[in-house]
Amino acid sequence: GIDFSNDPLLAGRIHSYVDTQISRLGGANFHEIPINSPIAQVHNNQRDGMHRQAIVRGRVAYEPNSLAGGCPFQAGAAQGFVSVPARLQAQEEQAKVRGKPEKFADHYTQATLFYQSQTPVEQAHIAAAFRFELSKVTVPAIRQRMVASLRNVSEGLARKVADGLGIDSMPAALPLALARPAKPEVTVSPTLSLLARPGDGSIKGRKIALLIAPGVRSDSVVQLQAALLIEGVVPRLVGPRIGPITTAEGGSLEADASLENEPGFLFDALVLPDGDAGVKALASDAHTMEFIMDQYRHCKTILVLGAATALLEKAGLSATLSNGKPDAGLIIAASGSMVEAAKAFIRGVAHHRHVERETDLTRV
């Protein structure tokens, strides 16, 4: 009763039993509820959650580790029970062995396949994610060890991460657990890349912000809103505050979100309205610049109508990238050409992100 059954049918219920306990008793710490807890003290790497009784000291919740002397670790055969890769039913002639195949010791082939299958933009995101997380690690030796491990995945990835961590001299790659890993059958698989799947060009379901403020021209906003609704988009009118906003024509538009409670990165695209008074009101609100820059940094499509070019100038943005090429995701149009502007904007939104901006570090 202390080890898993060799019966495949019973082994398939291993997950179900634990899942049932979690559901019935309300959390992963069901073994710590006083009436359920063992008399002998148990040390494990579980932390936090409902019904947690123990107050764990220390910095780590994983093993193997160096910061806690490797503790807690599995007791081993001398102090406790362990499963051993013995032949089933102790029959030497039986081929099945209860153990892990040799390929379980190949820790890097799949990681290499995944990284090599990404587009350059996605590879840059992976490197940036490693730099971001490892920059929070306060022990230099652990940062060095992670870079050493990444060398077994990709030298290029390891170098990008090391540069961001201030590691000038590359550490030696960590030794492999498997001396001679099998040659991979596949080295690149486009299906592992998100950007390799461009989609069907639809923008249905996208959430787009149309900024409004007192004095905006409502005609262009209403026309564009109607065109987006036909495409299945969720247009949101975002103003300095929610509620009715007076337009240049004397009417009103209902802002259903505010610059204060809906930051720019929550939207898939942005429309900056025409109207001198409205643009002036938006320019006087610091949230507007933050909203625009969030959209720009996240490589979203931005449509700029008429007088709203002043907002671009204040944000220090240009329709031309620093390499001299036009920014396909920054569309500037006059309010009188709304039909063509709407078509260009919809095409830009279908592109989703304009990653060319990510190399334009002077602006983002």
Asked whether residue 348 falls in the same domain as residue 219, the answer is yes
- CATH code, domain with 162: 1.20.1370.20
Asked whether residue 117 falls in the same domain as residue 155, the answer is yes
Could you read off the pLDDT of 63-79 as tens digits, one per residue? 888 888 888 887 776 77
- Average pLDDT for 183-200: 89
Structural domain includes residue 259: yes
Structural domain includes residue 99: no
Asked whether residue 285 falls in the same domain as residue 338, the answer is yes
Residue type, 149: S
Last residue of a domain, one of 30, 60, 88: 88
Asked whether residue 218 falls in the same domain as residue 315, the answer is yes
- Residue numbers of the domain that contains 62: 1-88
Q: In the chain, what is the straight-line distance between the N-terminal and C-terminal CA atoms, in Å?
A: 60
Asked whether residue 183 falls in the same domain as residue 211, the answer is no
Number of domains into which the chain is organized:
3
pLDDT score for 112: 97
The neighbour count for residue 32, using CB atoms within 10 Å, is: 19
Structural domain includes residue 263: yes
Structural domain includes residue 94: no
For 243, the enclosing helix (H) or strand (E) is: strand 243-246
Asked whether residue 8 falls in the same domain as residue 122, the answer is no
Could you read off the pLDDT of 249-288 as tens digits, one per residue? 999 999 999 999 999 999 999 999 999 999 999 999 999 9
Residue 189 has pLDDT above 90, yes or no: yes
In this prediction the pTM is: 0.78
- Return the percentage of the chain with pLDDT > 90, whole number: 59
**Alpha-helix residue ranges (DSSP H) falling in 212-285:** 218-230, 276-283
Structural domain includes residue 83: yes
Least confident range from 79-88, 104-113, 164-173, 323-332: namely: 79-88
Could you read off the pLDDT of 49-68 as tens digits, one per residue? 888 888 888 888 888 888 88
Asked whether residue 247 falls in the same domain as residue 169, the answer is no
